Every structure is written in C-alpha cells, then in structure tokens.
Amino acid sequence: MKQMYARWADGDMGSDDQWGDVTAEPRGLDYLEVSAGGVPAMWLSPHGADPDRVIVAWHGGGFVGGSLYTHRKMYGHLAKAAGVRVLLASYRHTPEFRYPAQVEDAVSAYRWAVGRTPKVVLAGDSCGGGLAVQVSLRAAGAAGLLLLSPWIDMDPAQSSPSYDDNAATDLFFTRPMVQGLIEMYLPDGVSGLSPQVNAFHADLSGLPPAYIQCGGDESGRGDSERLAKLTGARLDVFDGQLHTFQMAAGRAPVADEAIGRSAAWARERLGL
C-alpha cells in the first residue's frame, strides 16, 4: 500500500480500475450488478449468506474516482467474513456532478436496500464513509455505521493537525490535494461548514452506533479521531498504516485483521 501511494504521489495514478489490483480476489461469492433505485450498484453475495441482513457500502475515491470494480474485492472479503450480502453502491462523480448529487444517490440506494431487507449496516471507505454518515443523518433505520478512514470534514481550511503530524508518512493525501477535491465537490455558494455538507457541524446525536478504523500514518486520521470523540464510537487505529489500507485484503495480514474486526462488529450489530 505504501508503494502504491508513493507512486500516486509521483503522479502515476494508473487507470481507475487498477486500484483494485492490491486486493486479492475473494472466492466463494457471486457478483450481480443491479440498479438500486436508479443508482448503479452490485450485490456481493457469499454462498450461504444470511438473506435477511445486508451491509450497504459506498466506495471511496475522493468523489472524483473509484467504482464498483475498484472496490468489489475489498467489500467481497468483508461480505465473506461477515457471512452477509453487501450491496456496494456507486454515485455520480465530480467535477461533472457536484454536491448534493452524491448524497442524493447514496440515499436512493439505501432506501432501495431497506425496502428489501429488514436489517442493514451502513459502511464506507474514505469519502464513501462520509456518505454513509450523510445517509444516517437523512434516513433513519440503520443498525450501525462501519467506517474505514472516513472523510468527513468539508471545511476548505482542512485545519486538522494530522496533516502536519503525518506529512512525512502520507505523501499522497496532502492538505492541498484534499482542498482541491473539496473545491471540485462543492458548487459555488455552498459552504463547507454548512451542517448539510459537513457532519462535524451537524447534530450527530441520532447516529447509530459506529465502528471506525484508520491508519496511524495517514493524514486524514484527524477525521476519524474527531468523529469518534463526538459520537463515542469505537475507534481502532492501526499503527504504521495508510489511508484505506484494508484494500490489501487477502494479501496483507493487517488488512485481513481489520476486515475480520469489521465483520465481527457488523455481525453483532446485525444480530448474528
């Protein structure tokens, strides 16, 4: 993972679909693409999965990249470990589509899912984790929030000290880089401090129980720590790891451990 982010920092992003190359192919599950309330999505269905419990997940990519195909394997590992289906949902990308398009798509996919299953946990990595929080603020009923290095703060200042503390270890997600993503995400006249945009400025008292994971060496660690402090969520910080290190599932023991912890927590929230 560190080599991958170092390559990106040097400007070698590769093609979007290559992001998933760091994840081993999980076995024993089926993939089925569907339209979830008009939103492109994919069922990740382990053989023998409980049919009445589902994890609805959103992929990361800074709102500008990522897809069902870059993240299907990582969430496939989560589905297998938890023994439940995952509905992995996409959303419109910036800069062609700006806020609130992404949140609207996420809410539509969630409402489609809860109309078909009685018990749901929401999950997401990076900006997908932020979308999971936004869905919880707009639509009740989820049993829990499973967040992997969630990106929550849309304040253009990005004043979290973790950007400075981890500047030597996280060469990709720099403050200017994240500020550029925010600029593409927010339309003119919409403040990054608005409670509708930035969950850190919203009433979080109604959120379901949450479990957060982040890397100790990532610049965005501050978002995870701040959300955990505000909500009382469980937070696991994995020393020496970078943003969404869980993408190395099936290839790195630390990623497998993180997926295992996530799955155990999700099963508990789903009553399994």
pTM score, two decimals?
Answer: 0.94
Give me the pLDDT at residue 17, please. Answer: 61
Tokens of 83: 């023994």
Q: How far is CA 145 from CA 13, 204, 244, 269, in A?
A: 30, 12, 16, 9
Give me the pLDDT at residue 217, please. Answer: 98
CB 271, CB 54: distance < 8 Å: no
Please give the class, per CATH, of domain 2-269: alpha beta
**DSSP reduced 3-state for 26:** coil
Which residue carries 């809410």 as its tokens? 107
Number of Cβ atoms within 10 Å of the Cβ of 232: 11
Which residue carries 């909500």 as its tokens? 231
Give me the pLDDT at residue 19, please. Answer: 80
CB 129, CB 148: distance < 8 Å: yes
Give me the pLDDT at residue 16, please. Answer: 59
Give me the pLDDT at residue 20, please. Answer: 84
| Sign of the four-CA dihedral 173, 217, 70, 186 | negative
Give me the pLDDT at residue 130, please. Answer: 98
Which regions in the chain score pLDDT beneath 50?
3-15
Closest CA to 55 of 41, 65, 69: 41
CA angle 122-124-73, nearest 5°?
110
